[in-house]
């Protein structure tokens, strides 16, 4: 009985809880800074290409490796391209990469987690086993293997499709980079999301009010909508925030190993690995993308911590 009333109250409070969480988030200065940076990042990712001072691809071989100046705030790279414009465009790459990875992993995770949580028993045992395997896979290694093995085939297939259909879509094999490389990352990152969902479903399943609701024939979808989703949103948001930052670092690791986003499309990762080769002479080529990546990682970590504090019910004292 008490559970039930509590739950009802909680439901009424749903909106104000979200607002409370937001207020708590805003009150946390670091989290606020993190959030502003992340919002700024998204802004740059969306509008960046329209506000860059230069075309991120256009080269000026007479102005190579130039140190930062008023004309080029971050300097120019080895082909005389404006680093600032490339960093700005790189934000788009980073966001696409981070989102494709995160949301793919989220979808897989939610599917797997709800499968396990809903059916329980053997299905759940299987899902848990799958989670265990996945968690023990050396992630970087597997992604590299998938990358070097699958990509050529997919690229080739898309080429053939383009010749057959003339559809522009198939020509854009950069998509393969994004979808396959970072999709494969999702294959490794999903267990966290699955655990969250599974845990929520498990705990909700055993609550009296859900048993009662089930007993009086409330459809499952409704139970899910009413109880599972609201309870999971907090941890999932925290998960997303952490995963986005993580994915960006992963992207740079891939680029460093030569399997990430390939030039001339700028990504912070490939800019960093380019910069690493010459930084003893031209530190600015490394500095800008590395600093931006570090800043964004830190911002996501601030935001994640803040969200965690704001949304984690354990700390609602």
Partner 1 sequence: MGRYILFRLLKWIPSVFILLLLIYALVFFGAGDPIKLIFLQAPGDVAYDPDRVEAIRDAAGLNRPFLVQFIDYLGNIAHGNFGNSLVSGRSVNSMISAALPVTLKIGLTAIFLLSIIGIILGVIAALNQNKLLDNLIVGFALIVWGIPVFVAGPLIIVFLVLVMDMDVPYGWSGLFSFKVIVPLLVLGLNPMALIIRQARAGVLEVLSEDYVRTARAKGIPNYQVVVKHIMRPVLTPVVSQIGLLVIATLNNSILIEKVFGLPGLGRLTETAIKTSDYPVILAIVLIFSTVVMASNLLVDISYPMLDPRAAAKKTGDE
Partner 2 sequence: MKKDLFKVLVLGLAVLGLTPLQSGQASAEGGQVLNIAHPVLQQNWSPLQGGGHSARWQSLSWAAPMYFDKDGKLTPYVLSSVESDDSYVNWTLHVNPDAVWSDGSKITAKDVVGTWNLSARPATKHARVNLFLGGVDGFNDVVVGKAKDMTGLTITDDATIAVKLASADPIFDQKIATALIAPVKISQAEDESGNEKADWWMPQNGVVVSGPFMPETMDLDQGILTLVPNPNFFGPKPKLEKIVLTTVADASTATLMLKRGTMDAHTELITPTIIQDLGADFLGGPALAKGQQFWINAKKPPMDDINVRKALIMSINPEELALAAFPDGPFTVASQILNKVPGVDPDFKKYPYDPEGAKAALAASKYKDAGRLPKIMFVGISTPTHEAAAQYIAEQWRKILGIQGIEMKPAIETYSGPDQKSVQIFRDDVGTRVPDAVSYLMGSIYSKSGNARNKLGGYENAKIDAMLEEASVKGVKDPDRIKLAQEAQRLFREDWVYIPYYYDVMSKWAMPWVQNFDKNDDWQVIEPWNVTIDEAKRP
Inter-residue contact 142 to 254 (CB < 8 Å):
no
What SS3 class is residue 258?
Answer: coil
Residue 155 touching partner 2 (CB under 8 A): yes
- Pick out residues in 172-191 that bind partner 2 (CB under 8 A): 172-174
Rounded to the nearest whole angstrom, what is the least distance from the CB of residue 4 to partner 2 in the complex? 50
Residue 149 touching partner 1 (CB under 8 A): yes
Rounded to the nearest whole angstrom, what is the least distance from the CB of residue 220 to partner 1 in the complex? 30
Instruction: Select the residue interacting with partner 2 from 73, 126, 162, 256 (CB under 8 A).
Output: 162
Inter-residue contact 254 to 268 (CB < 8 Å):
no
What SS3 class is residue 82?
Answer: strand
- List Cβ neighbours of 131 (8 Å cut-off, separation of 6 or more): 112, 191, 194, 195
- Pick out residues in 267-286 that bind partner 2 (CB under 8 A): 274, 276-282
Instruction: Select the residue interacting with partner 2 from 152, 167, 208, 211 (CB under 8 A).
Output: 152
Instruction: Kindly report the length of the chain.
Output: 317
Residue 145 touching partner 2 (CB under 8 A): no
Return the range that interacts with partner 1 (CB under 8 A); candidates 83-91, 171-179, 223-231, 271-279: 271-279
Inter-residue contact 93 to 266 (CB < 8 Å):
yes
x-marked contacts with partner 1 along 99-138 as a string, rule CB under 8 A: ------------------------------x--xx-xxxx
Rounded to the nearest whole angstrom, what is the least distance from the CB of residue 179 to partner 1 in the complex? 16
Rounded to the nearest whole angstrom, what is the least distance from the CB of residue 19 to partner 1 in the complex? 25
**Exposure string over 145-183, b if 16+ CB within 10 A, otherwise e:** ebbeeebeeebeebeeebeeeeeeebeebebbbbebbbb
Nearer to partner 2, 163 or 291 (CB): 163
Tokens matching residue 241: 């925030």
CB atoms within 10 A of CB 248: 26
Q: Which residue has the tokens 């949580």?
A: 117
Q: What is the DSSP letter of 66?
A: P
Residue 155 touching partner 1 (CB under 8 A): no
What SS3 class is residue 284?
Answer: helix
Chain contacts with partner 2 (rule: CB under 8 A)? 57-59, 61, 64, 78-79, 148, 151-153, 155-156, 159, 162-163, 166, 168, 171-174, 258, 262-264, 274, 276-282
């Amino acid at each position: 009985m008490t559970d039930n009333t509590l739950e009802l109250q909680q439901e009424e409070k749903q909106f104000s809880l979200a607002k409370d969480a937001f207020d708590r988030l805003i009150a946390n200065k670091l989290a606020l800074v993190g959030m502003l940076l992340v919002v700024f990042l998204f802004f740059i990712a969306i509008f960046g290409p329209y506000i860059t001072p230069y075309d991120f691809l256009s080269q000026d071989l007479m102005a190579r490796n130039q140190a930062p100046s008023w004309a080029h705030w971050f300097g120019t790279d080895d082909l005389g391209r404006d680093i600032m414009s490339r960093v700005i465009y790189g934000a788009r790459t980073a966001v696409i990469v981070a989102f494709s990875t995160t949301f793919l992993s989220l979808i897989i995770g939610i599917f797997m987690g709800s499968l396990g949580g809903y059916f329980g028993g053997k299905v759940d045992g299987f899902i848990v086993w799958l989670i265990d395997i996945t968690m023990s896979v050396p992630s970087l290694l597997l992604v590299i293997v998938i990358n070097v093995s699958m990509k050529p085939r997919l690229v080739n297939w898309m080429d053939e499709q383009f010749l057959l259909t003339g559809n522009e879509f198939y020509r854009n094999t950069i998509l393969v980079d994004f979808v396959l490389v970072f999709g494969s990352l999702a294959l490794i990152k999903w267990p966290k999301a699955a655990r969250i969902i599974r845990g929520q479903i498990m705990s909700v399943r055993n609550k009296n009010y859900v048993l009662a609701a089930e007993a009086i024939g409330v459809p499952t979808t409704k139970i899910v909508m009413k109880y599972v989703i609201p309870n999971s949103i907090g941890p999932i948001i925290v998960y997303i925030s952490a995963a986005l930052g993580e994915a960006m670092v992963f992207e740079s690791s891939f680029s460093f190993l030569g399997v990430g986003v390939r030039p001339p499309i700028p990504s912070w990762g490939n800019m960093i690995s380019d910069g690493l080769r010459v930084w003893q002479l031209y530190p600015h080529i490394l500095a800008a993308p590395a600093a931006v990546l570090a800043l964004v990682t830190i911002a996501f970590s601030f935001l994640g911590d803040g969200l965690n504090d704001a949304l984690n019910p354990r700390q609602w004292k």
